[in-house]
């Protein structure tokens, strides 16, 4: 295993809650099906822990524009399918390459009034997310 194979996090790929923050990790490729599966698991975890609203940190590893298999219309499907955005107090993305950041930024402007933020490191995202652990207001309910 070389340095590029080092995981972004110590947890396995997928979703988990740790310290009041929901994490979703994607490695090598991301598709609508994988996002919807992780959203379903996320909602289950949120309900299981009886959480009204939770900050979300999305971790990307080895995902460039070609491995990001989503269109802008797919973002709408992620909003409408499991209502995860109604249960999310903030979203931070870590590990997105520049082209991928542009796609996510466009979707963020269109669908959630620019409320998806980028962080350079997991620690930076976690620190920002910690500030919203007690928030009961989702990103869809916040004023612009």
Tokens 């194979």 correspond to 5
Residue 84 within any structural domain of the chain = yes
Determine which helix (DSSP H) or strand (DSSP E) holds 130, and give its type and residue range: helix 122-130
Residue 97 within any structural domain of the chain = yes
- Which carries the bigger pLDDT value, residue 11 or residue 62? 62
Residue 124 within any structural domain of the chain = yes
Total residues found in the chain within this entry: 144
Exposure of 48 in the CB half-sphere (CA atoms within 13 A) = 9
Task: Return the exposure string of 76-93: e unless at least 16 CB atoms fall within 10 Å of the residue's CB, then b.
Answer: eebbeebebbebbbbbbb
Residue 143 within any structural domain of the chain = no
d(CA 123, CA 129): 10
Residue 15 within any structural domain of the chain = no
Residue 97: the pLDDT is: 86
Provide the domain limits for residue 123: 33-130
Residue 57 within any structural domain of the chain = yes
- Which carries the bigger pLDDT value, residue 127 or residue 32? 127
The number of distinct structural domains making up the chain is: 1
Q: How large a percentage of the chain has pLDDT more than 70? A: 85
Strands 54-61 and 116-119: unpaired
Residue 19 within any structural domain of the chain = no
Query: What is the tens place of the pLDDT at every residue in 51-65?
Result: 999 999 999 988 876
Residue 142 within any structural domain of the chain = no
Confidence of residue 49 (pLDDT cuts 50, 70, 90): very high
Model-level pTM greater than 0.85?
no
């Amino acid at each position: 295993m070389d340095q590029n194979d080092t995981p972004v996090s110590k947890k396995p790929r997928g979703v988990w809650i740790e310290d009041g923050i929901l994490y979703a990790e994607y490695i090598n490729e991301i598709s609508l099906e994988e996002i919807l599966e992780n959203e379903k698991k996320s909602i289950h975890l949120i309900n299981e822990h009886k959480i009204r609203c939770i900050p979300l940190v999305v971790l990307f590893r080895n995902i460039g524009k070609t491995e990001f298999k989503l269109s802008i219309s797919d973002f709408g499907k992620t909003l409408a399918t499991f209502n995860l955005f109604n249960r999310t107090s903030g979203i931070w993305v870590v590990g997105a390459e520049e082209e991928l950041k542009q796609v996510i930024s466009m979707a963020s402007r269109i669908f959630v009034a620019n409320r998806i933020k980028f962080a350079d490191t997991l620690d930076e995202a976690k620190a920002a997310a910690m500030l919203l652990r007690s928030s009961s207001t989702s990103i869809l309910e916040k004023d612009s």
